[in-house]
Amino acid sequence: MQPITRYHFFKFCVYAGLFSFWMSNLVSLNGTFEGILLAFLSWSFFVICTPIILEGFLTSFLAGIFRGGRLYEVGVYTWFGAVLLNLFTYNLFPEVYTKTLLTNFLYIVISRPFPERFILVLCALGTFYAMLCHLRGKDKKGIHKFMGWMLSGIGFAVFLYFYYNDLVLFMDLYL
């Protein structure tokens, strides 16, 4: 675990301020429930649709305050929370996604199987690869080599899976 520095605290304050401003703007435009839901859906967009450790800009710092350092393992729980939030909203309130450009793009990525959902797979692999690289005391060259092969293999398998489904649907072939 890394110690929390003034830089991390400043960065957290900037992100928390931007998130609070975004949430207050959405609440004033859409009402309390939809505004808060849109703010957290916007946050989940950055968690789910970016292949780097962006989920830690609010959650890992807070967990680090209570545990004594920045925690990269919080990313797993953050991903789980973001996916649950999107499953909840997608099934119960799908019209909320159309309120902002960011959440509309998130809705497109979630709702279309190919090639948009491939973005989710690549971003998940990239995020967890970045978290794995932050582990201390491990052989980083071995991790890089292993993860490179694993990402290549999984990416190729996922691409073939989605391409096969598209081809079958396109040509009306059912085996």
Distance from the Cα of residue 140 to its chain's centroid: 24
pLDDT given for residue 92 in this prediction:
93
Q: What is the mean pLDDT of residues 91-112?
A: 90
Please report whether residue 150 resides in a domain: no
Q: Which residues span the domain enclosing 112?
A: 6-139
Using alpha carbons only, how large is the chain's radius of gyration in Å?
19
Q: Is pLDDT larger for residue 25 or for residue 12?
A: 25
d(CA 175, CA 172): 10
Residue 45's identity, in one-letter code, is: F
Identity of the highest mean pLDDT range in 6-20, 44-58, 83-97: 83-97
Q: How confident is the model at residue 51 (pLDDT cuts 50, 70, 90)?
A: low
Please report whether residue 157 resides in a domain: no
pLDDT given for residue 175 in this prediction:
45
Q: What is the mean pLDDT of residues 79-102?
A: 91
User: How many C-beta atoms lie closer than 10 Å to residue 165's C-beta?
Assistant: 12
* pLDDT(116) > 50: yes
If one counts the domains in the chain, the total is 1
Q: Is pLDDT larger for residue 26 or for residue 57?
A: 26
d(CA 168, CA 149): 28
Please report whether residue 152 resides in a domain: no
Please report whether residue 103 resides in a domain: yes
Q: What is the mean pLDDT of residues 41-45?
A: 89
d(CA 133, CA 30): 40
- CB-CB contact of 53 with 73 (8 Å): no
Please report whether residue 31 resides in a domain: yes
* pLDDT(159) > 70: no
d(CA 120, CA 117): 5
Structure-block tokens of residue 128: 């967890």
Please report whether residue 30 resides in a domain: yes
What predicted TM-score, i.e. pTM, was given to this entire model?
0.71
Please report whether residue 173 resides in a domain: no
Please report whether residue 99 resides in a domain: yes
Whether the upstream peptide bond of residue 3 has omega within 30° of 0, thus cis, is: no
